[in-house]
């Protein structure tokens, strides 16, 4: 038992690690409110293009370094499809810009890529559906404002792509910030344990006043329930008879992936063996209660699969496992690179973390932000490169914000803003952020103005990339 002075009763003068300053002194709410003097909430409207800002086309080329060169044209083609798609693939460029905007200095575990398409549904361990942030490749400890500004700007771009009028796009950004602010205030008022698990998914629509989104969420949920390893395996694999050299007794029936280039392709035996062998290290990153479950599966095959816009060109594999009844489980083994925000943290006054394994960074950041995470999350190393491991097609579903009707866009903004606040409150004291954000809409209006200005800048960046593609200076493959 730990005493209230941070000492274990009966051990004089010995303090418990982690409790040296517990209970916390002072008032986080007052500290947050005092920050308004140094960083007025209205200052968050500011966005000025820095003179040393990288050329957008050069930034895209730089971000393709160390990726598989044959996949770079696919990534460029996806980014060139629209300004919203360009934003999705340019977290590092926006990190440069955000590091030169006003910041309070309050740190949180941030997603690092909290655009509007990185929220969605996924399955929990019992097969239920959860809605939350769902992409953590860029996660770091950094300024909470960065996630919120990226979300707001992405909503403006998504709305423009959907054909919404400018007022609707700005309202969606403003509503996202407002929902973030109100949710943080709610969490600040609750007992700590209640706040930690607050706003259950079934309450989210009501909390965010997102009733116009109900029909879309129901359709996405129905589709997500069918988006399983079994469904993917049925479409992407074929039955084979083992000859004894492929593992298992001769004549045994198994399954293997079928080539579907360029998205899915089989890999040489040596590469497949390296990935399969790395799952031993992965098992060591799981809690012991998971091991008997995975021990009941046998590895069947490994294939390379191209992933989303921001990750195209990274090494990413799918591993097919079958249980004793031939039911599949598919794991994704995805390369984890250093966060694109890493170079920009010191500019913002944040220490760049020393990370021993990038896959571990991604998994830890995800668990720190989500209420419920994939219970098979882990990490490993393949050929000296760090990878994260997770379930593939774990009932995942998402709303395409660029396809929403005008009356749904602001609902979606409120919902994602609330989810982002819930995620940040797991690592940052909600009283501190709520104290800064306050009761009125000054922050909402300021960040909405920033979002509009940054959306304009992104459209200009996108036009430069499209021009470079048309002139043949950058290779692009469209429609993949």
d(CA 27, CA 33): 10
Beta bridge partners of 397: 121
Query: How open is the CA angle 122-125-128, to the nearest 5 degrees?
Result: 55
Lowest-confidence range among 7-21, 109-123, 393-407?
Answer: 7-21
Mean of the per-residue pLDDT values for the chain? 91
Q: How confident is the model at residue 252 (pLDDT cuts 50, 70, 90)?
A: low
Mean pLDDT, residues 429-449: 98
349, 105 contact by CB (below 8 A) = yes
Q: Quick check: 3 pLDDT over 60?
A: no
Q: How confident is the model at residue 7 (pLDDT cuts 50, 70, 90)?
A: very low
Question: pLDDT digit string (tens) for 345-391?
Answer: 999 999 988 899 999 999 999 999 999 999 999 999 999 999 999 99
At residue 280, the pLDDT reads: 97
In the chain, the percentage of residues whose pLDDT exceeds 70 is: 92
Q: Quick check: 222 pLDDT over 80?
A: yes
Question: In angstroms, how far is the first alpha carbon of the chain from the final one?
Answer: 58
What element of type H or E holds 240? strand 237-241
Question: pLDDT digit string (tens) for 109-120?
Answer: 999 999 999 999
Burial of 271 (0-12, 13-18, 19+ CB in 10 A): middle
The larger pLDDT score, comparing residue 231 to residue 125, is at 231
Whole-model pTM above 0.85? yes
Q: Quick check: 477 pLDDT over 70?
A: yes
CA 101 to chain centre: 22
d(CA 58, CA 428): 35
At residue 478, the pLDDT reads: 86
Torsion sign (Cα): 185, 157, 49, 76: positive
The larger pLDDT score, comparing residue 268 to residue 309, is at 268
Query: What does the block give as tokens for 14?
Result: 């010995």
Q: How confident is the model at residue 402 (pLDDT cuts 50, 70, 90)?
A: very high
Q: How confident is the model at residue 4 (pLDDT cuts 50, 70, 90)?
A: very low
Q: Which of 266, 289, 385, 272 is nearest to 337 (CA)?
A: 385
Mean pLDDT, residues 296-308: 94
Q: How confident is the model at residue 5 (pLDDT cuts 50, 70, 90)?
A: very low
Mean pLDDT, residues 202-219: 91
Listed in sequence order, the residues at least 6 apart from 130 whose beta carbon sits closer than 8 Å to its beta carbon are 121, 122, 123, 124, 201, 370, 371, 372
In the chain, the percentage of residues whose pLDDT exceeds 90 is: 82
At residue 12, the pLDDT reads: 38
Mean pLDDT, residues 39-53: 96
Q: Which of 205, 207, 225 is nearest to 215 (CA)?
A: 205
Mean pLDDT, residues 137-165: 98
At residue 242, the pLDDT reads: 67
At residue 327, the pLDDT reads: 94
At residue 251, the pLDDT reads: 53
């Amino acid at each position: 038992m730990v005493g209230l002075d941070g000492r274990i009763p009966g051990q004089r003068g010995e303090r418990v690690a982690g409790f040296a300053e517990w209970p916390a002194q002072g008032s986080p709410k007052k500290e947050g409110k005092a920050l308004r003097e140094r960083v007025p909430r209205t200052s968050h409207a500011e966005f000025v293009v820095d003179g040393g800002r990288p050329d957008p086309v050069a930034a895209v080329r730089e971000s393709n370094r160390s990726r598989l060169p044959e996949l770079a044209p696919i990534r460029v083609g996806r980014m060139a499809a629209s300004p919203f798609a360009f934003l999705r693939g340019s977290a590092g460029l926006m990190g440069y810009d955000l590091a030169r905007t006003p910041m309070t200095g309050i740190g949180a575990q941030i997603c690092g890529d909290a655009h509007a398409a990185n929220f969605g549904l996924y399955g929990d361990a019992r097969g239920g559906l959860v809605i939350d942030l769902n992409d953590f490749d860029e996660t770091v400890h950094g300024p909470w404002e960065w996630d919120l500004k990226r979300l707001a700007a992405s909503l403006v771009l998504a709305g423009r792509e959907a054909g919404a009028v400018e007022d609707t796009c700005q309202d969606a950004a403003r509503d996202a910030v407002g929902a973030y602010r109100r949710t943080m205030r709610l969490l600040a008022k609750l007992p700590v344990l209640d706040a930690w698990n607050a706003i259950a998914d079934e309450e989210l629509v009501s909390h965010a006043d997102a009733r116009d989104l109900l029909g879309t969420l129901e359709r996405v949920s129905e589709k997500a329930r069918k988006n399983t390893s079994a469904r993917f395996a049925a479409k992407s694999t074929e039955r084979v008879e083992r000859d004894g050299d492929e593992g298992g007794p001769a004549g045994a029936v198994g399954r293997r992936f079928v080539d579907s280039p360029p998205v899915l392709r089989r890999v040489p035996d040596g590469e497949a063996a390296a990935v399969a062998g790395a799952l031993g290290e992965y098992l060591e990153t799981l809690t012991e209660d998971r091991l008997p479950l995975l021990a009941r599966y046998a590895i069947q095959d490994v294939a390379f699969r191209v992933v989303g816009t921001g990750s195209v060109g990274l090494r990413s594999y799918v591993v097919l496992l079958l249980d004793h009844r031939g039911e599949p489980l598919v794991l994704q083994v995805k390369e984890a690179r250093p966060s694109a925000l890493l170079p920009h943290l010191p500019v913002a006054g944040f220490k760049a973390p020393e990370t021993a394994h990038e896959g571990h960074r991604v998994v830890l950041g995800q668990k720190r932000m989500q209420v419920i995470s994939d219970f098979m999350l882990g990490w490993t190393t393949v050929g000296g490169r760090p990878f994260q491991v997770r379930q593939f097609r774990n009932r995942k579903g998402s709303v395409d914000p660029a396809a929403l009707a005008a009356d749904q866009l602001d609902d979606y903004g409120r919902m994602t803003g609330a989810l982002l606040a819930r995620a940040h409150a797991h690592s940052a004291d909600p009283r501190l952020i709520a104290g800064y954000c306050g009761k009125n809409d000054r922050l909402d209006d300021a960040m909405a103005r920033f979002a509009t200005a940054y959306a304009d800048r992104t459209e200009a960046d996108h036009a430069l990339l499209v021009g470079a593609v048309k002139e043949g200076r950058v290779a692009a493959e469209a429609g993949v």
